[in-house]
Amino acid sequence: MGKAYNVMAATCPSRTVLHRIGARWTVFVVNALEDGPRRFTELKAHIQGITPKVLTETLRTLEQDGLVTRTSYDEQPPRVDYELTGLGRSLLLPLRAVRQWAEEHVPDIEAARAAYGPEDASAGATVGP
Amino acid sequence: MGKAYNVMAATCPSRTVLHRIGARWTVFVVNALEDGPRRFTELKAHIQGITPKVLTETLRTLEQDGLVTRTSYDEQPPRVDYELTGLGRSLLLPLRAVRQWAEEHVPDIEAARAAYGPEDASAGATVGP
DNA sequence: CATCTCAGTTCCTTTGAAGATACCGGTATC
DNA sequence: GATACCGGTATCTTCAAAGGAACTGAGATG
């Protein structure tokens, strides 16, 4: 049998999956869980700028998709742990690479942006025959 | 020296980079260019469901960021090639992995979704002391 | 002359995800 | 009694990004 799923096909369910992975905060949350279980407040502090609403939403989605488990302990003050599942850890591998790429290539991208535009628009990069 | 950039910091420029990578169609376009140069119409046909407007926007952004080059040949009918730069090819590695992950784990995610909800909401996954 | 192709552009509408802000109940501590 | 901690909700607003549909120009083709 060949490939079962192909993201290039308009109606392939893998597109939905890709959409989830690409959601604004998924990369952050998954990466933040790389070293083991973390509490809600820890995550919120670690992922600077995320609002509790969005963090909750993201975690719920990840939980639904089987990437994260939520465990709440009956202590005082309350404690809730989030942890990557096996599936979540398998996604961590690509997403950590993406994160690292972003961190490593900031200068390259900034340089490219700065260099863009100066290029002559009329002659352009046009190649004549 | 330590890490220069950290996506977890609120104002880190790597966040902008991550945002670009995470844009709806970036994964598709970068993956579609994995085997070498492609023309606009080829890309449009290959990435099913993408509109010309969005494809243009995505390509322009990738070009600005130095991930893709655009070469237009003065032929008839017009020909324009898009190709990954070295930087673009370095991004292809993580993004191909993301794509593959999405294609491979559709069943896992569908299963997790189906299994979600049935779990008792009152007792929940709560762990008592 | 009519039609096709390529590589887009233009205009308008929509929408869904994200942001801001405020609030909640229970506990324990000052 | 006031305040702080924890893990969230609730509500409202916003807005960038995506979608849809039609259109362009210049030359090739029938």
Mind listing the pLDDT tens digit for each residue in B114-127? 998 756 443 334 34
Write the residue in B9, B90, B129 that is nearest to A73 by C-beta. Answer: B129
Whether residue A112 contacts residue B66, with contact meaning beta carbons closer than 8 Å, is answered with: yes
A108 contact B CB<8A:
yes
CA atoms of A90 and A87, how far apart (whole Å): 5
CB contacts under 8 A, B 62-91 vs A, are: 63-67, 69-75, 87, 90-91
Q: What does the domain layout of chain B look like in residue ranges?
A: 14-114
CA atoms of B90 and B72, how far apart (whole Å): 24
Indicate the DSSP class of residue B68: E
CA atoms of B30 and A60, how far apart (whole Å): 29
The alpha-carbon gap from A30 to the nearest alpha carbon of chain B, in Å, equals: 12
pLDDT at A121 over 60: no
Work out the average pLDDT over A2-23: 93
CA atoms of A104 and A76, how far apart (whole Å): 42
Class of domain A14-113: mainly alpha
Q: pLDDT tens across B78-89, in order?
A: 999 999 999 999
Q: Is there contact between A40 and strand D, defined as CB under 7 Å from any strand atom?
A: yes
Q: How far is the CA of A127 from the C1' of C17 (A)?
A: 42
pLDDT value of residue A118: 57
Residue showing tokens 């990840």: A62
Q: pLDDT tens across A72-81, in order?
A: 998 888 999 9
Choices 1.10.1510.10, 1.10.10.10, 3.30.300.10, 3.30.390.50: CATH for B14-114: 1.10.10.10
pLDDT at A124 over 90: no
Write the residue in A3, A94, A103 that is nearest to B101 by C-beta. Answer: A94
Would you place residue A1 in the very low, low, confident or very high pLDDT band (cuts 50, 70, 90)? low
